[in-house]
Amino acid sequence: MMEVGDDYTDIRESVKRICADFPGTYWNELDERREYPEAFVRALTDSGFLGALIPEEYGGSGMQLRAAAVILEEIHASGCNAGACHAQMYTMGTLLRHGSDEQKQMYLPKIANGELRLQAFGVTEPTSGTDTTKLKTRAERQGDHYIINGQKVWTSRALQSDLMLLLARTTPYDQVQKKSDGLSVFLVDMRGLIGKGLEIRPLKAMVNHNATEVFFDNLKIPADSLIGEEGKGFRYILDGMNAERILVASEAIGDARWFIDTAVKYANERQVFDRPISMNQGIQFPIARAYTEMRAADLVLRKAATLFEQGKPCGEDANIGKLLASEASWHAGEACLQTHGGFGFASEYHVERKWREARLLQIAPISTNLILSYVGQHVLGMHRSF
């Protein structure tokens, strides 16, 4: 029987070699300066890993989703963070599945080789939050172009991205029969648009993920920026969310591995009262429990990825896997921080940075409570609570 962690060993080793050039000191310095990990992203791009899910006909690697998940898992297990560039791997999925042949030929090869960066995903707004159907950003068709007005928030890496996948309302909310209708997806080429109806402001946050606020003021974009049919954008976005959840949850698995390995090493070496603290069950048990949670979450995610690759419904496992992985990561982080005691708060140990990053996955890209709501209503058949 294959042990968990033994799949795609060649990819795992390649990722580890790349990450070895970017130790914790590299990430701490970026964190202090709130800078983008340009060198790290370039190394991943040159390796071809960020084009893992783009088909070979467009210059990508044509890997399966599980292989992409392994890439992200190993990045995080190595102490690095893929949040700066993971969207390059999956945001293009909407373009791949629903874009025209012309759009795919124009953009996918350049995304695959890193000439263009598609890392910005404009969905969340200040007033609508996770109630996506209530978003207020409008796109109005005027001849051969659209005029965009509105605001997005928590749009990560808009300042480091050439392209943005944008969800906007093309039919007013009060004019649609179904609330998810009337939303459209656009691939916005942001090059040269700042100051011409587009404004991007950095948004300082607890973790250095280069979050931004984006403002649209009569921004003019070509009509052929529209992906698929007008008004069908919500379903285009939804069909990529399972892949996103599986991939982001794989990062949580990697974080949990890093926390567990770091905690075990420290606990075995740290001597208090003339013996290693790993002998104390108060230290040992939380780490062991986090390990069991991580293993369970990993198995659910492997099932979700297999179902996705087979074209079968995977929403239940993708959502449950994301919930379990984020909680395993958080519990591992708590155990690791507690094991280090006061030293856990010292940046030189890198625990506090990873601890802050792990907390994000309880909220993004989907919160724990929303997953529980999904399971209650769509898996167990209970009534909607709102």
pLDDT surpassing 80 at residue 249: yes
Q: How confident is the model at residue 238 (pLDDT cuts 50, 70, 90)?
A: confident
Residue 26 has a CB neighbour count (10 Å cut-off) of 16
Q: What average pLDDT score do residues 123-145 get? A: 91
**Integer angstrom CA distances of residue 69 from 82, 269, 312:** 11, 32, 18
What gap in Å lies between CA 190 and CA 188, rounded to an integer?
Answer: 6
As given in the structure block, the two tokens for residue 9 are 């060993």
pLDDT surpassing 70 at residue 71: yes
Nearest-CA neighbor of 148 among 217, 232, 194?
Answer: 217
pLDDT surpassing 70 at residue 3: no
For residue 129, the model assigns a pLDDT of: 74
Q: What average pLDDT score do residues 133-145 get? A: 95
What gap in Å lies between CA 130 and CA 178, rounded to an integer?
Answer: 17
More confident residue, 336 or 2: 336
Residue 175 has a CB neighbour count (10 Å cut-off) of 9
pLDDT surpassing 80 at residue 289: yes
**Integer angstrom CA distances of residue 71 from 77, 178, 334:** 10, 39, 25
Per-residue pLDDT tens digits for 145-170? 999 999 999 998 999 999 999 999 99
CATH code for the part of the protein at 118-231:
2.40.110.10
Q: What average pLDDT score do residues 47-76 get? A: 96
More confident residue, 239 or 364: 364
Q: What average pLDDT score do residues 349-369 get? A: 95
| Average per-residue pLDDT for the chain | 95
228 residue type, one letter: G
Per-residue pLDDT tens digits for 291-344? 999 999 999 999 999 999 999 999 999 999 999 999 999 999 999 999 999 999
| % of the chain with per-residue pLDDT over 70 | 98
CA 47 to chain centre: 20
CATH superfamily of the domain spanning 9-112: Acyl-CoA dehydrogenase/oxidase, N-terminal domain (1.10.540.10)
Task: Write out the chain in H/E/C secondary structure.
Answer: CCCCCCCCHHHHHHHHHHHCCCCHHHHHHHHHHCCCCHHHHHHHHHHCHHHCCCCHHHCCCCCCHHHHHHHHHHHHHCCCCCCCCCHHHHCHHHHHHHCCHHHHHHHHHHHHCCCCCEEEEECCCCCCCCCHHHCCCEEEEECCEEEEEEEECCCCCHHHCCEEEEEEECCCHHHCCCCCCCEEEEEEECCCCECCCEEEEECCCCCCCCCEEEEEEEEEEEHHHEECCCCEHHHHHHHHHHHHHHHHHHHHHHHHHHHHHHHHHHHHHCEECCEEHHHCHHHHHHHHHHHHHHHHHHHHHHHHHHHHHCCCCCHHHHHHHHHHHHHHHHHHHHHHHHHHHHHHHCHHHCHHHHHHHHHHCCCCCCCHHHHHHHHHHHHCCCCCCC
pLDDT surpassing 70 at residue 386: no
| % of the chain with per-residue pLDDT over 90 | 91
Give domain 235-379's CATH number out of 3.90.1150.10, 3.40.50.800, 3.40.50.1110, 1.20.140.10. Answer: 1.20.140.10
For residue 132, the model assigns a pLDDT of: 87
Listed by start position, the domains of the chain span: 9-112, 118-231, 235-379
What gap in Å lies between CA 92 and CA 164, rounded to an integer?
Answer: 10
What gap in Å lies between CA 189 and CA 199, rounded to an integer?
Answer: 14
Contacts with 116 (C-beta within 8 Å, 6 or more apart), sequence order:
107, 110, 162, 163
How many residues appear in the chain? 386
What gap in Å lies between CA 52 and CA 34, rounded to an integer?
Answer: 28
User: In a 10 Å sphere around its CB, with 0-12 CB exposed, 13-18 middle and 19+ buried, how is residue 281 labelled?
Assistant: exposed
For residue 1, the model assigns a pLDDT of: 40
pLDDT surpassing 50 at residue 97: yes
**Largest distance between two CA atoms of the chain:** 79
Residue 195 has a CB neighbour count (10 Å cut-off) of 7
167 residue type, one letter: L
For residue 128, the model assigns a pLDDT of: 84
pLDDT surpassing 60 at residue 60: yes
Residue 383 has a CB neighbour count (10 Å cut-off) of 6
User: In a 10 Å sphere around its CB, with 0-12 CB exposed, 13-18 middle and 19+ buried, how is residue 207 labelled?
Assistant: middle
